[in-house]
A and B are shown apart, each in its own frame.
Chain A
Amino acid sequence: MKLPSKELNKILVRRYWADRVFRLCAVTMLLITLGTLAALLIDVFIDGAGRLSWPFLTSFPSRKPEQAGILSALVGTVYLMILTVVIAFPVGVGAAVYLEEYARRGWLSRLIELNIANLAGVPSIIYGLLGLELFVRAMRLEESLLAGALTMSLLVLPLVIIASREALRAVPPSIREASFALGASLWQTIWNQVLPLAFPGILTGAILAASRAIGEAAPLITIGALTYIAFLPDSLVAPFTVMPIQIFNWVSRPQKGFFEAAAAAIIVLLAVLLLMNAVAVYLRQKYQKRMNL
């Protein structure tokens, strides 16, 4: 196609214009997003930073806002998170190994796959209702740490399965072939070669799932986790509370002091989340290096 140079020039000028306009739109969108996030963080910090102190972390909640602390909520969150991972990790990884390595590809495995993807998108309160019926009532676990962890495990299980399957799929086929060619069985290949390579990826997924779990309040409120706990859970069946519930409770109080305590608790929760995500990013980086054979 031949164009006179004046025509060509005009087309090019128009194109560069479109380019610039589009770029401006994109940058604006980015600024809106970042701006909102920054405003939120700044607001929380202004409200809560003054309240952050060692006693705040080591005191139980109180009716007097200036004495209230998050010890029981922080410990409850850590316990819940550990228990959830302990339950969901083996089940999720096992399911992923089955689906990825053993199950025959067919309509059934595709149906299961689709359902797991859908379960990952189910509103968390639905899991709360399931937990209430199944764990709290049918299994008579009451409003215990164990009931909470089991409910949270259901919630994060689809995420763990999906992340684990991706990690398993990323193991190069050449590694499997090398193992099979030596006469290794499927199980030996999975256990000795595939899982070790996929492990950092699986762990990354588990950490992200756990960080999802510690931000959730709705399912735990549904199963009846308490808000005022002035002791630390001493067994799996002890009542408990977690940080999002404590925050929810404080912001619904009229006193300004509780409002500040809520902001301070949000900062602590964010710090925990940030830390977990940093670990996940670090692991992913390390993992990609090992995969590039």
Chain B
Amino acid sequence: MKTTAPWAFEIQDLNSWYGGRQALQKISLLIPERRITAIIGPSGCGKSTFIRCLNRINDLIPGFRVEGRVLFKGQDIYDPTMDPVEIRFRVGMVFQKPNPFPKSIYDNVAYGPLIWGTRKGPALDTAVEESLKRAALWDEVKDMLHQSALTLSGGQQQRLCIARALAVEPEVLLLDEPCSALDPIATARIEELLLELKKSYTIIIVTHNMQQAARVSDVTGFFLLGELIEFAETKRIFTNPVDRRTEDYITGRFG
């Protein structure tokens, strides 16, 4: 039951702290549905902190605190009545370093559906196959589903992590520098995959690779020292940035 509202996330005045240290300052932006939003910026500027606020995974870090509003499909995910478990069910995440469970390929993908109530059997098999197909990994692994996921290459592991996230049928996919540990060929495959996935998912990708942001994303946000400096259509950001600091960054004058 998808709404037709154009925004997946509406973020208003988001501040966040690790203990006493502020990591994000007054971030406000609108993330469009079924588009790829790229988050760029030098390391330590708060990119990871930002997307980790969107599925409340940072709740697990002691001393982490947020202020402001993060509306997901119109609902404030930090509202006390909201269950973070439900949010993580609807907003999937893929991490920087591939982190498959040390189990079989099948078990990795099946874990999400299993904890959400799918029983073992043909329905689960179908869910696993579908997810692996959507993550463009099925052909490579269909004959070794019960082999350990750790025998896969880095690029395959990352696609497995994407398949695992897709298996619970989230509405949004968050990716935190998903290609930084991969070679260019594996990176190209993931980019291709993201362009395919955006037909049905809202995708937010953090990347330190500006060419990647330019290649795959529709809108781009540039972060610096915990602030959102500029947020606009990707084409605009890369050809005609408004802020001097954005220009300096994308032309490589600092980084």
Contact = CB atoms under 8 A, between A and B. Distances in A.
Given A183-B86, A183-B89, A178 B112 contact: no
A139 interface: no
A14 interface: no
A21 B92 CA distance: 62
Q: Which of B85, B116, B164: most chain A CB closer than 10 A?
A: B85
Interface stretch (B17-25, B93-101, B133-141): B93-101
A179 B57 contact: no
Interface in B13-52: none
A177 interface: yes
B57 to A, nearest CB: 6
Nearest to B93: A181
A178 B95 contact: yes
B161 to A, nearest CB: 7
B165 A181 contact: yes
B80 interface: no
Interface string A151-185: 00000000000000000000010111111111111
A63 interface: no
A183 B112 contact: yes
Contacts of B111: 179, 182, 184, 192
Interface in A174-219: 174-185, 188, 192-193, 197
A199 to B, nearest CB: 12
Contacts of A188: 115
Contacts of B245: none
B85 A185 contact: yes
A97 B161 CA distance: 27
A213 to B, nearest CB: 32
B60 A180 contact: yes
A195 B125 CA distance: 25
Q: Which of A182, A290, A293: most chain B CB closer than 10 A?
A: A182
Contact of A177 (B85, B89, B99): B99
A193 B57 contact: no
Contacts of A105: 62
A192 B110 CA distance: 12
Contacts of A174: 95, 97, 99
Given A183-B89, A192-B111, A197 B57 contact: no
Interface in B108-158: 111-112, 115-116, 150
Given A188-B115, A192-B111, A293-B150, A180 B97 contact: no
Contact of B85 (A183, A197, A290, A293): A183
A188 B89 CA distance: 14
B246 interface: no
A180 B101 contact: no
Contacts of A182: 88-89, 92, 111-112, 115, 164-165, 168
Given A182-B88, A182-B112, A188-B115, A177 B95 contact: yes
Contacts of B93: 181
A183 B116 contact: yes
Contacts of A193: 101
B102 interface: yes
Interface in B66-102: 85-86, 88-89, 92-93, 95, 97, 99-102
A56 B122 CA distance: 59
B55 interface: yes
A293 B102 CA distance: 8
A180 B150 CA distance: 20
B186 to A, nearest CB: 18
A196 B244 CA distance: 52
A178 B102 contact: no
A235 to B, nearest CB: 41
A183 B99 contact: no
B115 A180 contact: no
Contact of A181 (B57, B62, B86, B102): B57
B115 to A, nearest CB: 5
Contacts of A192: 111, 115
Interface of A: 105, 172, 174-185, 188, 192-193, 197, 290, 293
14 contacts: A176-B60, A178-B100, A178-B164, A179-B101, A181-B55, A181-B95, A182-B88, A182-B111, A182-B164, A184-B115, A188-B115, A192-B115, A197-B102, A290-B102
Given A175-B102, A178-B161, 16 more contacts: A105-B62, A174-B97, A175-B99, A176-B60, A177-B60, A178-B100, A180-B60, A181-B92, A182-B115, A183-B86, A183-B112, A183-B115, A183-B116, A184-B115, A293-B100, A293-B150
List of 5 A-B pairs having minimum Cβ-Cβ separation, nearest first: A183-B89, A174-B99, A181-B93, A183-B88, A182-B112
